[in-house]
Amino acid sequence: MEMQMNPLMTNKPSAAVDLTGRLSYDVQSLNQLRAQARSDEKSSIKAVAQQFEAMFTSMMLKSMRNAVPQSDIGHSSETRMFQGMFDDQLSQNLASHRGLGIAALVERQLTRTDLIAPKDLPAHKSAKPLSLPLPAVAMTVQQALEAAKARKAEETTTPLADFVAAVVGQARKAADAIGVAPHLLAAQAALETAWGKRKIVDAAGNDSFNLFGIKAGKGWQGKVAHVATTEFESGQ
């Protein structure tokens, strides 16, 4: 009795798998490609590259169809199924011939002979062995990261925020006494002093704590600070 042997069951390396004319849903061709890749990796590169381009083209066609509005009339689930099968087969046929050129690029990249295997790369001269055990090195790195975060947090504080933090306490007390919102007093102080850049100081350079530019009248008997100001009267 004569029996036909499946080439996949033999140990002999098979010839390069030709996907031209194969159905996209032909599982046997994929099994042959898998077997060939195990026995002869180089000869299967072209077929693998074609399969990659076929998958890419199929995804592109499906995306193009999904971008077109469709109605329920003439677009049943069966229609979409056969349309998907057609797209897969069309992609397979295109990739088996010249296609989009993606398969050729992949094949050329995978068959380059000027590539160096990682194990053949020489060790870098600047690489030095760790002076500490790995857990100690990890702890050192963690401490450095935390210190960097702390410095970053300090850098994010601005002079504007520092000024508000300095006056908000007194602004609340004064606001409670005169019946206004504390943020209004803080805003007026920021306006009068340019956010603390132009504070009124005495002759010795000490802060007068006069955040609103209030002038000393004839009845004021306390300390005063003499500063030059610009006044407007009647719009002039």
- For the stretch 225-231, contacts whose Cβ atoms lie closer than 8 Å and that sit 24 or more positions apart, written own/partner, are 225/200, 225/201, 227/200
Same domain, 19 and 107: yes
Q: Is 123 a domain residue?
A: no
pLDDT, position 116 = 62
Residues 51 and 101 in one domain: yes
DSSP-derived letter for residue 207 is: B
* Tens digit of each residue's pLDDT (9 = 90 or more) over 167-176: 888 888 888 8
Confidence of residue 74 (pLDDT cuts 50, 70, 90): low
One domain, residues 93 and 163: no
Q: Of the candidates 86, 114, 142, which is a domain's last residue?
A: 114
Q: Are 107 and 178 within one domain?
A: no
For residue 9, the model assigns a pLDDT of 38
pLDDT digits (tens, 9 = 90+) for 38-72: 777 676 787 878 888 888 888 888 888 888 777 66
211 belongs to a structural domain:
yes
Neighbour-count burial for 64-84, b at 16+ CB within 10 Å, e otherwise: eeeeeeeeeeeeeeeeeeeee
More confident residue, 228 or 189: 189
Share of residues in the chain with pLDDT > 70 (%) = 65
As a whole-number percent, the residues of the chain with pLDDT over 90 amount to 0
Domain assignment present for 136: no
Residue 203 has pLDDT above 50, yes or no: yes
CB 53 within 8 Å of CB 95: yes
Residue 74 lies in a domain: yes
Choose between 3 and 199: higher pLDDT.
199
For the purposes of burial, counting CB atoms within 10 Å of the CB of 115, is it exposed (0-12), middle (13-18) or buried (19 or more)?
exposed
1 found inside a domain: no
Indicate if the pLDDT at residue 111 is higher than 60.
yes
Domain extent for 160: 153-215
Mean pLDDT of 68-80: 72
In a domain, 119, yes or no: no
217-234 tens-digit pLDDT: 778 877 887 777 766 677
For the chain, what is the domain count? 2
Query: Quick check: is 220 in a domain?
Result: no
CA 31 vs. chain centroid, Å, equals 39
- On whether residue 125 sits in a domain, the answer given is no
Tell me what the mean pLDDT of segment 141-159 comes to: 71
> CB-hemisphere CA count at 13 Å for 179?
0
pLDDT tops 50 at residue 12: no
